[in-house]
Amino acid sequence: MDVRVGSVEDVRRDGCRIVDVNGRRVGVISVGDEFFAISDKCPHMGASMCAGSLGGTFVAAGPHEYVYGRDERVVRCPWHGWEFDVESGRSLLEPKRVGLRTYRVSQQDGEVVLHV
């Protein structure tokens, strides 16, 4: 099933647009020229991920050394700061155990389309 989310311009301006798909809230996130779609419900306590922030995080650069990276690829829960990769949906803390469902998104004729 394909769901039209809105025009590319409108979704980019919003930053994150929530779409209801069969009773599930899906957040479509604009990052530069790309769009990503994730479950809008944090697996910890159910906060809206679209109400959170999009940014980066610190990544290991060497032993006991961290640098800021993954800019605009990490979505952070607004309630408790849980961090998830917007591409894979996986938790940065426990990627093998916790994650958000992801969905494919495309652009067609100036519209953002969610594929579920």
Domains for the chain: give ranges and CATH numbers. 2-115 (2.102.10.10)
pLDDT-based confidence at residue 40 (cuts at 50, 70, 90) = very high
pTM value? 0.91
Is residue 59 over pLDDT 90?
Answer: no
Q: Are 114 and 21 in contact (CB under 8 A)?
A: yes
Please name the helix (run of DSSP H) or strand (run of DSSP E) that holds residue 108, with its range, or none: strand 102-108
Q: Output the pLDDT for position 63.
A: 94
pLDDT tens figures, 64-115: 999 998 899 999 999 999 999 999 999 999 999 999 999 999 999 999 999 9
C-alpha–C-alpha distance, residues 31 and 74, integer Å = 10
Is residue 60 over pLDDT 90?
Answer: no
Nearest to 36 by CA among 54, 58, 56: 54
Token representation of residue 41: 């419900």
Whole-Å CA distances, 82 to 33, 91, 114: 25, 8, 25
